[in-house]
Amino acid sequence: MTTRRAFLPVLLFACAAVAAAFALAGCGGSERAPELKTVAEYFPIKIGSQTARLQLAVEPAEQKIGLMGRTTLGADDGMLFLYGRPQQMSFWMHNTLVPLDIGFFDAKGELREVRQMIPNDQRSVKSRSAEILIAIEMNQHWYRERGVKLGAKLDLVALKAALKARGVEPRRVGLE
């Protein structure tokens, strides 16, 4: 409980700082990559014609925790998981309390599959394809309600910029 209370002010500060940075960037007339330093920070990215606010889970410890323990998720907020090479992916909902949909994307940023995930479900949700490089967890039905269909493209330029802002070389995680 103490850890959660200590984390909340940090998370709120990070969200406010990112929002302020986006507002200032909009006023300046030039687009700049957000300065992401932790998994708690969000960055905007287009998925098809829709804009989502995502957190990056790139390091193994971040990927292991994912969205565990959260009781809510903003309407357009989610988490992007990125692995070093295309593969069949497998996720589960251990200690994850929010119903989710997971979108599986290939190395070209194309949405190949969307699967539902049920809170606290211990069964694996696997991608059908072995060519998946990116997984994005969003609120359940986000893809359908926003009209994001199979074949939609993820903005890889924005993703690479967010990775660099986090100090992660895109090639290290499979992006050319």
Mean per-residue pLDDT of the chain: 84
Check residue 19 and give its pLDDT. Answer: 38
Please say if the pLDDT value at position 9 is more than 80: no
Check residue 82 and give its pLDDT. Answer: 95
Cα distances from 107 to residues 2, 88, 159, in angstroms, run 40, 12, 12
Check residue 38 and give its pLDDT. Answer: 64
DSSP-assigned letter for residue 152: P
Please say if the pLDDT value at position 18 is more than 90: no
Q: Which tokens go with 25?
A: 């960037």
Check residue 10 and give its pLDDT. Answer: 35
Please say if the pLDDT value at position 26 is more than 50: no
d(C-alpha 54, C-alpha 109), whole Å: 15
What CATH number should be reported for the domain whose range is 2-173? Answer: 2.60.120.1140
Please say if the pLDDT value at position 76 is more than 90: yes
Please say if the pLDDT value at position 88 is more than 80: yes
Express as a percent the part of the chain with pLDDT over 70.
Answer: 78
Q: Which tokens go with 37?
A: 């330093």
Q: Which long-range contacts (CB under 8 A, 24 or more apart) does 37-40 make?
A: 37/165, 37/166, 37/167, 38/14, 40/10, 40/11, 40/14
